[in-house]
Structures are given as C-alpha cells and as structure tokens.
Structure 1
Amino acid sequence: MQKTLSDLPQIQTLLGLPTIADVIARFSHAETADALREIIAGLRADLRAGRAPLFPDFQSMEFAEALSARIEVARAPSLTPVINATGILIHTNLGRARMAPQAIAAMQATGAAASNLEFDLATGKRGSRHSHVEHLICTLTGAEAAVVVNNCAAAVLLGLMGTANGRSVVASRGELIEIGGSFRLPDVIAQSGATLREVGTTNKTRVDDYARAIDADTAVLLKSHTSNFKIVGFTAAPDRRDLARLAAQHDVILMEDLGSGVLIDLSPYGLPDEPVVADILKSGVDLVMFSGDKLLGGPQAGIIAGRADIVADLKAHPLMRALRVDKSSLAALEATLRLYLPPFDPVQTIPVLQMLSAPLAQVESRAITLTDALTAKGVSGVALHESAAYVGGGSLPDQALPSFAVSLRMPDVSAQKLTAALRAQKTPVIGRIERDQVMLDMRTVWDAELPAIVAAVEQINRR
C-alpha cells in the first residue's frame, strides 16, 4: 500500500524505540534527533512531490546502523587532508604551501604545552611574542627589524595605517593589483585612512611621475610586485634604487608589497622574476611585506621587515593586537626560517621548494610508477603525458614548470563524474580536467601518496 504523509512517524516516537536508544547512548540525544528529522524531512519532501519513497523499518537494527553512519558522517572533520594532483604547487584553495616536518613538530609541541609566548625566561618578566622570529628574519633579510602579523594583506593594511593615515600614498597605476578574494590594493589604501595618488599609466611609470606627485601630504611611495599578472611590450618601471633616492630626498617612506616573497634566488628553478627580500632591502626600500605561506614555505603569516623606527611604530600600533599572529603559527614560522640557515638546504627540506626544484626525471618516474600500479590493478584508460605545472598562489601564473601527469578515462563515466568520485574518497584526490579526461599531475604529489591514489581509482573502477 502506498504510504502517505500520515504514515510518517513522530520524532518523539522514534526516539523512544530501544534500537534508537542505543544510538542516543553512543552519540547524543540532540544529534540523533537532528538526524531523524533530516530523514523524515526527506521522506516528506518525496511524498509532497508525488514520489513514492521506500520507507525504512524504523524499528530495525539496520535502520539504527544507517542512522549511526549518518551521524558519523556529520561528525567527520570538515577540514581534512587531500591529495593535490592539480599541478599547482601553492594552491590557495588547497591550503597553499605544505609545511616541513620540523614546522609541524614545532606546532604540535607548542600546542601541547604551556609556552614562553610572551614570557621572558631570562628575567621572569613579560616578554614579546615578536621576539621569537624577529632575529631570524633580520638575519635572513638584512632588515634592521621585523614583525609578523596574520597574513600579507594584514601586513599591508598595518603598514599603511601606521605610516600614512590621514596623508597620501603614491602608487603606479600599473601596480594597483587585485588578488584572490577581490582584495584590491586601492581599497586597502582607502581603508587605511590614506589617500591614493595614482601616477603613470598602465604600462609606463617613471621616477618623474612619482616626483611630481610628492607634496607636503605625501607619506609613502608604494610599490607592489605584480606577481599574478604581466604587462608586456611597450613598458617602463623605475628602478627601486632610483625610487629609494627620491624617497630619501623628500623624507617619505618607500614601501613594497611583495605578495609572496622569497628568501633565496629561485631563478635556477624556473622563477627568474621573483625578487629576493634581502636584495630589495639592499636597494633602499624602507619597508617590505611578504607572505609566510607561499614560496617561503611556512604557515600563513604576513612578514614586515625593514627600518627599525618604522617597525617599532607598527609594533605599538593599536591595530597590532587585532592582527597579531598566534603561537602555533609563530612556532611553525620559526622552525621554517631555521631551515634557511646552515647546515640545512631549504631546497631539500622545505616541501614547496622540493616540488619546485624536483628534477623532471624524478617527476616522470613517479608518473610511471602510478601508471604501472593502476594498470596492474586492471584500470583501463590510463596514460602518461608530458604536462605543465604552475607555482600558483598569485606567483607567476604564466610561468610553466615542466612536469608529467597520468590521465584517467573510464567507460561511461564523464570526466566531471570521475573528478567528483575522486573527491568523495576517504582521502580526496584533487586533479584537473583536460580534453575530457582527468589529469593527475605528479609534480605536486609525494611518493607516499601514490598508494592512496591507486586505492581511490581502483575503488571507483570496481563500481
């Protein structure tokens, strides 16, 4: 007999069943009630739509087990590890840079016990959280002083609020960038309380353009590294050293937002246009801001480095408390920065730099291993391809890195459905779609992740 709305049981009745009481004891009354409401609501929606849903046996152990499984799924962590097979090394949506084991260990140690976050062990008095990484940053960049906030956007905002509030900021039209999340530099300047004075044109800006814009209200000459786009052809931009001399002549601050920022020369690995922070400061830039979780390879953080007097003012700014970095991020950043010092080689110890510098033969070998393993499991439609990987994270989006990828095709399964199935695995596998096939790029995959990929694809192939 076809069921009707009147056949739907009351939630309180279901909660009183002995089998459901066991579910309540295992989880909680509230979770069990919520799960039951969702099930009844689904049945009610089907009935009202004219569909004939199959009613479960609410008193059975099978229903109780299904209810428990539903609650387990709801309890599963929302933030979970995934396998990045996109070929984008610093994928913003996938958490940006992987951190080194030393950084993860430092976070665990700091989080598992009390720490000297703001306690001076030598004097027994209150200390500063800024002291834990400032010396390291100065050692690696040549800066007089440094401070860390929770991301680079915060660093730019604090830097401008602390130096140019109520005054003007001169910036080139060709450098008024927008990054992910609609973060627009002109909006940040306005939010800081400063007035933007645009100079030059989209493709050409000269020192004279900055010079003509400087007046009694000018506080900052602002440069921004346009790492996420390129203007080519008939272009011109002033040398930092010339801007530094101009800023000094007029007693204004030269500030640069790097966005990403690197501590070592990455040109041997295909990134010739990423300026090294130490070189920027040597050229005369007063203050530079860069990220901790991009090419530096650490946690999310915004690093401000440069003149001691400016940094001191920023440390004392009221906004600092709202933007300050937490203890776990500080621990991870300190551990990451130490990997740039001897006897360590950052290219060999920091994951994002390992991926960037990995020889093409090594990437190809990984792709061959995956192809052979999938073929041995009876997965058809597997092929090896030359590929192009990218740094990502707003850094040099058009700078391709040679790579190898494994393509997947399955009969009667579209590429869209296959990527969805890979995302639904216990350890989600995130690839990309090219020419109606799923591509798994091996430059962003570790050898240790290959078994999980094989297991995921094999399970999908069995369906």
Structure 2
Amino acid sequence: MTALDRGVHLRLPAVDRVLGWPAISALIESHGRSLVLQAARDELAFLRERAEGGTDEGIAHGIHERVDALVVPTLRKVFNLTGTVLHTNLGRAPLPPEAIEAMVQVASGASNLEYDLGTGKRGDRDDHVEALLCRLTGAEAATVVNNNAAAVLLTLNSLALRREVIVSRGELIEIGGAFRLPDIMARAGCKLHEVGTTNRTHLRDFEKAMGTKTALVLKAHASNYSIQGFTAEADERKLGALCKERGLPFVVDLGSGTLVDLARFGLPHEPTPAQTVTAGADLVTFSGDKLLGGPQAGIIVGRASLVAAIKKNPMKRAMRCDKLTIAALGAVLRLYENPERLIQRVPVLRLLARPPTEIAALAHRVLPLLSQHLGTRGQVDVVPVMSQIGSGSLPVDLLPSFALRIKPVGSKKGSGRWLDQLAGEFRKLPIPVIGRIADGAFLLDLRCLEDEAGFLAMLTPSPE
C-alpha cells in the first residue's frame, strides 16, 4: 500500500509553517525555539528520508516525542533490584535525608565554604569535616578529596615522589575499570618495591626491603578478592612499629572503610580507621561513598605533619571536593556521633542489615501485583537468593535475601531473548527497574526496595 493509498500527504509542510501550529508554539513556549526547531527539522527529515508524508497531527506528535526525548535527564533515579547493595554503576550508597538537606541548603545560595565566620578571613574547606573525622577516628588531622583513588594517588605523590614504596605482592590490587595500584603508583611518580609472594608475606620481607631509597610502606586492603589457604601477612601492629623504628611513614589504604564495627549489626567485621590508627598507621585512606554511606569522597586521616604535607601538594586543588560533597559528608559524619541510631539513619547500613524475613514478607506482598502486570507472559514466584555488598566491600561475604523470579511460560526456546526483552521493559518504566538475569530467569532482589508504594504504582495490570 502506498502513502497515497493510506490517505496521507506526500508533500511535507515547511518548517516555518510547522513552528506556527498551536501545539508546536506551546512547545516553543516551554522549551525554547532552538530545541523545537531542531526537533521539527529532524522529524521532517526522517519522514522525507522514508519517502513518507504525514498528517499535521502525526508530524506534531513526532516533534513532541523528539522534544521529550531531548529534555529528559540522562542521570535518573532507578530502583536497584540487582542484589548488589553498593552498586558502582548505580551510584553506590543512597544518602540519608540529613545529607540531602545539607546539600540543598548550600546549593541554593552562598555559603561559608572557604570563609571563617569567626575571624572574617579566608578559611579552609576541610575545616567543615576535619574535626569530625578526628573525633571519629582518633587521628591528629584529616583532609578529603574527590575519591579514594585520588586519596592514594595524592598521598603517594606527596610523600614518595621519585622514591620507593614497599608493598606486599599479595596486595597489588586491581579495582573496577582495570584500575590498578601499580599504575596509580607510577602516575604518582614513585617506584614500586614488591615484597613477599602472592599468598605469603612476612615482616622480615619488609625489613629486608627498607633502605635509603624507601619513602614509605603501603598496606592495601584486598577490596575485591580474598586469598585463602596457605597464607600469611605481616602483623599490622608489628609492621607499624617497624616503620616507626626506621622513621618511615606507614600508610594503610582501607578502600571502603567503615567508621563502626559492622559486627554490631550482624555483618562481617571490617577494620575501621580508628582501629587502624590505634594499630600504628601514620595515615589511613578510605572511601566516603561505600560502607560509610556518604557521598563520593576520598578521606585521608592520620599524623598532622603528613596531612599538612599532603595539603600543600599543588594537585590537592585539582582533587578537592565541592561544597555539595563537603555538606553531605559533614551531615553523614555527624550521624556517626550517635552510633545507637545508625541503622535507622544511614540507609546503606539499614539495607545491609535488613532481616531476610522482612524481605520475604515484602516479596510476597509484591508478588500478586507483579503477576497481574505480566499477565500470561511470564510466571512469577518468590525464591531465596544471596545479595552482594558490592563496590569491593567484603567481597566474599553474601547476605541472605529474597527475590521475585520471573520465567517465560512454556518452551525454553528463545527464552534468552525473551528475558533480555523483559529486562528492557522494566528499564523503560517511569522509574527504571534494574534487575539481573541468572539461571534462566529475571530476578528482582528486593533487599534494596524501600519505596514499595512507588514501585507498585508502576505495575499496571496486563491488557492480555
């Protein structure tokens, strides 16, 4: 059937005429002439390329859709139902309301980011969080940068430029995105001196390696793997004492450091900055946006003279945090001064410690509406699963959880394609839903679902 047989106009209207249509004029009023003009040109070019005409209503509708696609933010809220709590691709830790409010307060006008209200003179943006960090970690001083990789890079460049840094061979980690510790060290301008073997490194290995070219000793947290079996590592207290005896800074990178003992919440133990400082570390670096539950930041705490040297590095300015990060981090740190209420007030801790029975009850409440939403296209049931903590935090520890499992009805032929299409449908919901495909099913792990009403509001009954 030709375009004439379908009763549409082969002759397309001029762009100027289209812009004068009432529906398009309203678009211009809302979004500006330039954006709508480009959308109109693109729609007419699309129809022309396909040798199609179109009704005025159809053309206007196409332009509306193009404008809508252009103005929708690319960074959007999603439901993280992947089963990975601290999902790097999904923004890691959700912020508590106190942090969000603090960001709004400083974002809506001027603030004393680098202004001392007491003296009326220039201040230091670190002042807003340094005292808090020192109280929470027992360190003499602190500074913050934009992420933990930057914290390690800046520390090495400040204290070990053109000199050697001793690291256990079993701690030469690679984190997400092929980001390797040896590469960071090379960019920092220092020389890597490996000691020990992959699975066993002893105190004597460090002692033998120390010399006139040594700048510091670095201990890196095995953030995303675990070596088990015939293993050995130098005792941290003894290594710290040896460094002190030799006059060398002992730096410990905790990666996704937490400020409290997670065991109190029924979670696996993870060393805290306070414990690491007490054990003899001169400097400790860790993230603000992982187990701590704050915004993306790299935190450096420790001996005052070393922190002062780091802050004098010209690269510190290139890595510093903005006012929103400082505000959010300060708000989260203040929550840690009341540890008895942390579970209620820090979302990431609440999600990690969420009881499996609570998740199971949620799954059974959601099940009927999800079944109605899918209709006859898929079958749904509730299954036990294991959630991950994520982002290199406690990599071998899993958390018991429950998921809604969706499988295709009938034959398994073509089920892979069906599951991909289903996952795509969920990503197209008003608030995209991100699950995972595993074992021939689409799984929605509900550990991180707290907005139950918002999720259910999107599950309209299937028309089938």
TM-score by length of 2: 0.91
2:431 maps to 1:433: no
Alignment counterpart, residue 386 of structure 2, candidates 382, 385, 388? 388
Query: What residue in structure 2 maps to residue 322 of structure 1?
Result: 318
* Offset of residue 410 of structure 1: 5.1
Contact 2:251 2:283 survives alignment (8 Å): yes
Amino acid at match of 1:136: L
Aligned equivalents of 2:456 and 2:405: distance in 1?
A: 13
Matches within 5 A, 1:192-211: 192-211=188-207
Instruction: Between 81-90 and 371-380, report the one with greater CA deviation.
Output: 371-380
Q: 2:35 aligns with which of 31, 36, 58?
A: 31
**Secondary structure of 1:181's aligned partner:** coil
Name 2:463's counterpart in structure 1.
462
Structure 1 residues 167 and 192: CA distance shift in structure 2, 3 A: same
Alignment partner, residue 238 of structure 1: 234
8 Å contact kept, 1:89–1:352: yes
Map 1:15-54 to 2 at 5 A: 15=18, 18=21, 20-21=24-25, 23-43=27-47, 46=50, 54=52
Does structure 2 conserve the Cα–Cα contact (< 8 Å) formed by 1:23 and 1:64? no
Give the match for residue 417 of structure 1: 421
What secondary structure is seen at the aligned counterpart in 1 of 2:165? strand
Question: 5 Å matches for 1:176-255?
Answer: 176-255=172-251
Equivalent of 1:444 in 442, 448, 458 = 448
- Identify the residue that residue 118 of structure 2 maps to in structure 1: 122
Q: Verify the 8 A CA contact 1:178 1:184 in the aligned structure 2.
A: yes
The 10-residue stretch of structure 1 (266-275 or 313-322) with the greater mean CA deviation from structure 2: 266-275
Structure 1: distance between partners of 2:129 and 2:251:
21
Counterpart secondary structure, 2:76: coil
Deviation at 1:315, TM superposition (A): 1.4
Does the C-alpha gap of structure 1 residues 44 and 255 become closer, same or farther in structure 2, counting only changes over 3 Å? farther
Q: 1:210: how far off?
A: 1.1
Deviation, structure 1 residue 9: 4.5
Aligned-pair distance for 1:13?
5.5
Secondary structure, counterpart of 2:162 in structure 1: coil
How many pairs are equivalent? 451
Contact 1:244 1:285 in 2 (8 A): yes
Cα distance, 1:45–1:209 mapped onto 2, change above 3 Å: farther
The separation in 1 between residues aligned to 2:225 and 2:267, in whole angstroms, is: 14
Residues 252 and 8 (structure 1 numbering): CA distance in 2 closer, same or farther, change over 3 Å? farther
Counterpart pick for 1:293 among 289, 292, 297: 289
Q: Which of the numbers 93, 106, 122 marks the counterpart of 1:97?
A: 93
3-state secondary structure, aligned to 1:439: strand
Compute the TM-score of the two structures, normalised by the length of structure 1.
0.91
Percent sequence identity is: 43
Look up the SS of the partner of 2:85 in the other structure: strand
Q: Deviations over 1:120-171 (max 9, x none)?
A: 1111111111111111111111111100111101100110011001111111
What SS does structure 1 have at the residue aligned with 2:348?
A: helix
RMSD (Å) for aligned C-alpha atoms: 2.3
- Cα 1:274–1:419 change in 2 (3 A) is same
Match of 1:409, SS state, is strand
Counterpart-to-counterpart distance in 1, 2:362 and 2:446: 7
Alpha-carbon distance, 1:364 to partner:
1.4
How many angstroms does 1:434 deviate by?
2.0
Unaligned residue ranges in structure 2 (runs of 5+): 5-9
Structure 1 partner of 2:141: 145
CA positional deviation for 1:358: 1.4
Q: Show CA shifts across 1:163-194 (max 9, x none).
A: 00111111111101111122110011011111
- Superposed CA offset, 1:3-58 (max 9, x none): 69xx67586456565455554444333212322343344445546xxxxxx5322x
Q: CA offset at residue 61 of structure 1? A: 3.3
Determine the C-alpha separation between the residues in 2 that align with 1:152 and 1:378. 43
**1:93 to partner: Cα distance:** 0.5
Specify the code of the residue in structure 2 equivalent to 1:304.
Answer: I
Deviation at 1:373, TM superposition (A): 3.6
Partners of 2:166 and 2:195 within 8 A in 1:
yes
Please identify, of 411-420 and 237-246, the stretch whose mean Cα deviation from structure 2 is larger.
411-420
**What per-residue deviation string (whole Å, max 9, x for no partner) do you get for residues 269-289 of structure 1?**
454352111111100011010
Whether the 8 Å CA contact 1:15–1:33 is kept in 2: the answer is: no
Q: Give the aligned residue type for 1:170.
A: I
Amino acid at match of 1:263: L
Residues of 2 paired with 1:312 and 1:378: CA distance? 60
Partners in 2 of 1:189 and 1:8 — Cα distance?
65
Contact in 1 for aligned 2:12/2:53 (Cα 8 Å): no
What is residue 7 of structure 2 aligned with on the other side? none
Structure 2 distance, partners of 1:250, 1:38, is: 70
Secondary structure at the residue paired with 1:462? Answer: coil
Structure 1 residue 305 corresponds to structure 2 residue 305: no
Q: Is 1:398 aligned to 2:396, yes or no?
A: yes
Letter in 1 for 2:145: V
Residue 105 of structure 2, aligned match among 106, 109, 132: 109
1:268 is displaced (CA, Å) by: 4.5
Change (3 A) 1:319 1:269: same
Structure 1: give runs of 5+ residues left out of the alignment.
48-53
Q: Which residue of 1 aligns with 2:54?
A: 56
State the shift of 1:116 in Å.
1.1
Identify the residue that residue 277 of structure 2 maps to in structure 1.
281
Kept in 2: contact 1:422–1:456 (CA 8 A): no
State how far apart, in whole Å, the 1-side matches of 2:19 and 2:345 are. Answer: 57
State which drifts further: 70-79 or 402-411.
402-411
**Partner residue, 1:72:** 68
